[in-house]
Amino acid sequence: MRNTLLPVALIAAVLSWNCSRTASDISLKSSLDESAAKINTAMTVISESRGYDLMVINDMTKSGDGFSDSITLDLISGVYDFSPDTFVCRHFSMPFWRFDKSDESEMLILNMPQRLVYHPRYLFNPTPQDTVAENDFTITASDYHYYYSFMRRYDYKLTAKFTLKDEDIGMLDVTSAGETFSGRSYVSEYSFTDDYSLLVSYDRGDTAISAMSLKQGDEILLGEETVFVRSDFRNKEKQYTLTVGDVTIVRGSAMDSIQVYLDGVLQNTAGAVITDDDDYGDGSVCHRRDILLTFDDGTTEKLSDLIGPALEILGTLVDPMREMYFARRIVDHLAFTIYYQQR
């Protein structure tokens, strides 16, 4: 009887191991596919939003750089309405429209025509209009300061929500500090509608960390973090981490190979290859980097095949948010407009 039970037990164990192995492999693939579907949906929704249009504005004809004063929210707080036919040019030839203060507030609330925001050329170089545009766009800044020192060091904070025709289109939260905009650390996050948000950050130092995360609520749909060290006056990649839902891919200078994790568990047979070899370049999936995943059954999948269009859209957002284009060139310009017209 014992001789009969032993082979049966061995066969059962082998079958159980094979089923477990197959389930693990399928779960890695299915997790990646499920996460890719969520990322593609998120970026489709975001790209069709008016908040996206704000963050990717590129017809800037004037930069918000070069301010040499320090201002705080209490100096410019109140409700201000755009006043047409009042375009003036003063204070070191900085042109601006006048805004009439209509009410008191602890915040900075600016009501203006949307064309001044979505088409900044009208903000800096006005052209005659046949009709007076409606003040249908509102910036509500609940936190703002721009501290500027003699040695070109600055400290910056902006928290502002935006409405278009009384409809919420998102919120921007920026914190930045350093020596001018070229030597800064920053965190920039835009909260879109439908509970989506995108955060980009850079922590400057001997070891620098660049990061990006696309979230739905508290769930990270796509995350990327690169740790750099200074080498030959440039940043050299030390460790790279990509998170796609429950799948995490890690490459490090101290690692023998790229590691793939599923829900925090190291996958011993799955593999990954990062296609670009430039350790000093911008190694990001939002630009030139691609990743080829190999599963236990020998099949492969490229990240660009799974979420290529989503990554292209994400790339158009990440760069302007890193450069703080909208905060620097629109919000700062309007904040200093209020500041200077009161002096």
Q: What confidence tens digit (pLDDT) does each residue in 230-277 have?
A: 776 677 889 999 999 999 999 998 777 899 999 999 998 888 999 876
Helices (H), the chain: 2-47, 50-55, 73-76, 115-118, 121-124, 303-323, 325-326, 332-341
pLDDT of 10 higher than 60: no
Q: In angstroms, how far is CA 95 from the centroid of its own chain?
A: 30
**Which stretch, 63-72, 88-97, 146-155, 156-165, has highest mean pLDDT?**
156-165
Tokens of 142: 């609940």
Q: How far apart are CA 245 and CA 331, in angstroms?
A: 34
- Name the least confident of 31-35, 42-46, 51-55, 252-256: 252-256
153-174 confidence digits (pLDDT tens): 789 999 999 999 999 999 999 9
What is the pTM (predicted TM-score) of this model? Answer: 0.85
What number of other Cβ atoms are within 10 A of residue 203's Cβ?
A: 13
| Per-residue model confidence (pLDDT) at position 207 | 87
Q: How far apart are CA 183 and CA 244, in angstroms?
A: 30
Which residue, 55, 64, 81, is CA-closest to 336?
A: 64
Asked if residue 87 lies in contact with residue 112, where contact means CB atoms within 8 angstroms, the answer is no
